[in-house]
Amino acid sequence: MSSFMPEILAPAGSLDKLKVAVLYGANAVYVGGQKFGLRTAAENFTTDELREGVIFAHARGAKVYVVLNSFLHDKDLTELPEFVEFLDKIKVDAVIVSDLGVVRTVRKHSSIDVHVSTQASTLNVEAAKLWKNMGATRIVLGREVSVKEAGKIKREAGIEIEMFIHGSMCMAYSGNCVISNFTQGRDSNRGGCAHSCRFEYSLDMGLDTKEKRKAYFMSSKDLEGIRVLPEFIKEEIDSLKIEGRMKSHLYAGTMSKVYSEALNYYKDHGDFLSEKLLSWEEELGKVSHRAYTEASLVEPAGADSIFNERENNTDNEWQMVGTVVEANAKSGIIIEVRNAFNQGDYIEVIPFEGAAFALNTQEMMDLSLAPVIRTRPSTLVRLPYQANVTVHNLVRARGTK
Amino acid sequence: MKYVSFATSIHDLGILKEENHDEVILGHRDFSRFGKLDDLQFIELAAQAKKLGMRVVFEWDILMIENVFAHLITCIEKFQGHFDVLRVQDPGALEWSLKNTQVPVQFIAENANRNLEALNGWCEYIGDRLDRLVLSIELSRNTLAEFVSTLKVPCELLGFGRILLFYTPRNLLSGLNGGEKFRFNDEISALGESEESPHKGFPIVENKHGTFMFHIKEFCLLEFRQELANLGLSHFRIDLRWEGLNFIKDLDNLKEIYPQDLMRGFFLVNKTDVLFPKLKNSRLQKREGNYLGEVIEAEKSKHLAILVKHTEGIRPGQNIKILHPKGEEFEVKIHWLKDSSLTEVEHIGQNQLALIPYVGGVWVKSQLFIQ
């Protein structure tokens, strides 16, 4: 049995999501400050929140990586040293960068580890060696690389390797798509991606028929690599990354929990029982997603990796109804409601470990102790106390579609 | 400033010679994104170019996963001696070229590399083997001027040709190609349009290296040639691989006779980041310093529920400012403070739920600050 275990690296679009990801089992999280990252529309972290996030994560044995993976221009670089020095001071574990100018700036102004972003599309041994020579300590490989190739890159380049295991995927080589730049006036490599690859296109393929083919031909299915976990372990891939800083608390928590549980199970048993795999896949299926694919983790992605469907096809999904903001015998369980539910509805709490379980919705009250028949989003609801519920637990219900 | 272009035939070489080009880029179909030449054709064309006194540039611009890379470096040996310069984009190809060849290297820095620190980094790393940097067409004229004047190496820019928008190794068209068999060295092309974009007729090409999409208009800086020369740009690239090299004979009138629409891209100004502040509510981002917390419930005539974020917590008697998501500000004093069990208390700590008196007009997501 291999003693090697990769880290599970989860997305955290906000301080709350960082806490959720760490509490649900992520070994590391990646976050963005207010500048220099690719998720301009995400809430992102203030400097105070970064400091609190690092303290919170480190106290629980988790690492924090900060993304600086925008293609920075000179005017951006002038502001970077001060931020990098701050990150060094608060003991951020690494920064994720995609540009040589940023690598050099970080090296000059800090001793923080440098991870080369997937935006740099590092795909082979020699490229990894080059980035290592530049001072990188880890490579986040392009999503076109197989796990087997990744193992070879790690061994021959002698550098830590990180790979995506789950989430949405660019169809293009990352960093090699500028559709938004030229059609929407938004720099996709500085956080302005307009997701033009998800549009439906009419294609004139020069065939005899005048009819154009309509297809979502540039849209990729979402990556799911749970069945490839043994390969990741065998090849000793250092870090398994979950995409999605823009995604929900439910996503951050569920992904962190499922993948960390799967790894821990493997650590204890040395294999994956098919029954367990099915249950993990079922959990992954409960979170909003496109159809899943293993993309290029085993073989180069084929035609079946294209998501030729309209977005928001969310059959069989569960939705997050809220987060537990307080839970004690005196106050009961107080949930910050995100999606409405009714008295008597089946809702369940996802504990940090173990199987989800039902909450009692027969006796719902508002904060002023008045009975509630139907909750409303952006309100608080009070449920009877259950001992195994705790703050930051996520609460979900089956979607109504 | 010199012109540089591509050739795929002896005829093309003749045209370039007539136009006084002293260098030609040759694309082998295994190494170049849009290369057409097989082994023999490459070697013959390279020999002919040398006879005509032209420097031969071997274009190796595909991006390569390890398996492809490992195969290609076993193939490139047969071309050694037939070219004078290697032209690469994949950092792996760059690294390999520096260690395993002696020829000068042209580095395609069209992706990323929007700052001098990066470009200087490549210059230092490649050292005296660096023949030229190929810069991005997304650089505006002011940035180009700064870069070209600062960098100590020759710089090249696309001056005329297709704008590549998208490059994937996946085969996106062949599955839609009416069931026609896709042969390995073939190319499939299509024109795409989307109801969600005002642009119609994106050229799309699928070949053995994947699928590529181009802008509906081609890039043209012909009218800025003198300005670019004055800046110190060393090479102006003309890419006529789709419409034919004959057009190169009449550059002064090319804009008028060329069959495709043309654009200057971001040459005059690049404002592709100006929309970013509008992508989120900046009023919700001011969570620094005296930030106290966020309203997570506003129950009319009863209370505001706050998730306390300040390290020192919240106390009754404090004067606070409430910033509404729409910008309106409210200044109030906290007359009473209750915990979630509705007990009046003197202090509630960080990350706890606190209730304070309701303030008319305040919504959920309003931000609180200590005054």
pLDDT tens per residue, range B267-322: 999 888 877 666 666 666 667 779 999 999 999 999 999 999 999 999 999 999 99
A188 occurs within a structural domain: no
Report yes or no on A93 lying in a domain: yes
Shared domain check, A339 and A234: no
Q: Do A162 and A33 share a structural domain? A: yes
- Tens of pLDDT, residue by residue over A10-25, are 999 999 999 999 999 9
Residues in B 19-48 with any Cβ partner in A closer than 8 A = none
Query: Which residues from A are below 8 Å from B67, CB to CB?
Result: 146, 149
Q: How far is A93 from chain B (nearest CA, A)?
A: 22
Digit-coded pLDDT (tens) for B99-109? 999 999 999 99
Residue B279, pLDDT score: 65
Q: Note the pLDDT of residue B275.
A: 73
Res A208: pLDDT: 58
Residue A346 in domain:
yes
CA–CA min distance A368, chain B (Å): 8
Average pLDDT over residues A228-234: 96
Q: Which residues of A touch B339 (CB under 8 A)?
A: 331
Do B178 and A179 make contact, defined as CB atoms within 8 angstroms? no
Of A305, A327, A358, which residue sits at a domain end?
A: A305
A283 in the same domain as A362: no
Cβ neighbours of A104 in B, within 8 Å: 117-118, 121
Q: Which of A86-100, A276-290, B124-138, B343-357 has the lowest mean pLDDT?
A: A276-290
Is A38 within the bounds of a domain? yes
pLDDT of residue B246: 95
Q: Which chain B residue has the Cα nearest residue A119?
A: B112
Clarify whether residues A394 and A254 are in a common domain.
Answer: no
Mean pLDDT lowest among A105-119, A186-200, A331-345, B290-304: A186-200
pLDDT at A401 over 50: no
Is residue A168 classed as helix, strand or coil in its secondary structure? coil
pLDDT confidence of residue A2? 62
Nearest to A200 among B69, B194, B275 (CB): B194
Q: Provide the pLDDT for residue B367.
A: 93
Query: Do A228 and A377 have their domain in common?
Result: no
Asked if the model's pLDDT at residue B213 lies above 80, the reply is yes
Question: Rounded mean pLDDT of B365-371?
Answer: 94
Q: Are residues A254 and A301 in the same domain?
A: yes
Last residue of a domain, one of A277, A305, A333: A305
CATH number assigned to the domain comprising residue A366: 2.40.30.10
Which residues of B are less than 8 Å from A306 in CB distance? 170, 172, 175
Over residues A184-211, mean pLDDT:
82
Residue A143 and residue A249 in one domain: yes
Beta carbons of B197 and A202 less than 8 Å apart: no
A12 shares its domain with A127: yes
Q: Which CATH code is given to the segment(s) B2-163+217-263?
A: 3.20.20.60
The per-residue pLDDT for B138 is 95
Q: What's chain A's average pLDDT?
A: 92
Contacts of B82 (CB under 8 A, 6+ apart): B42, B43, B46, B47, B56, B58
Query: A137 with A276, same domain?
Result: yes
The domain B282-370 belongs to what CATH superfamily? Translation factors (2.40.30.10)
**Could you say which of A254, A284, A305 is where a domain stops?**
A305
Residues A238 and A336 in one domain: no
Residue A212 pLDDT: 76
Domain of residue A116: give its range.
Answer: 7-175+219-305
**Residue ranges of domains in chain B:** 2-163+217-263, 282-370
**What residues in B contact A33, CB-CB < 8 Å?**
none
Q: What is the pLDDT of residues A362-382, one digit of tens each?
A: 999 999 999 999 999 999 999
Full 3-state SS string of chain B: CEEEEECCCHHHHHHHHHCCCCEEEEEECCCCCCCCECHHHHHHHHHHHHHCCCEEEEEECCCCCHHHHHHHHHHHHHHCCCCCEEEECCHHHHHHHHHHCCCCEEEECCCCCCCHHHHHHHHHHHHHHEEEEECCCCCCHHHHHHHHHHCCCCEEEEEEECCEEEEECCCCCHHHCCCCCCCCCCCEEEEEEECCCCCEEEEEEEECCEEEEECCCEEECHHHHHHHHHHCCCEEEECCCCCCHHHHHHHHHHHHHCCCCEECCCCCCCCCCCCHHHHCCHHHHCCCCCEEEEEEEEECCCEEEEEECCCCCECCCCEEEEECCCCCEEEEECCCCECCCCCECCCECCCCEEEEECCCCCCCCCEEEEC
Mean pLDDT, to the nearest integer, of A345-358?
96
Domains of chain A: total: 2
φ, ψ at A253 (rounded to 5°): -70, -45
Enter the ipTM: 0.94
Instruction: Give the CATH number of the domain where residue A247 resides.
Output: 3.20.20.70
A145 part of a folded domain: yes
- A60 and A85, same domain (yes or no): yes
Residue type, A23: L
Residue in chain B closest to A338 (alpha carbons) equals B296
Q: Is A51 contained in some domain?
A: yes
Is a pLDDT exceeding 90 seen at residue B144?
Answer: yes
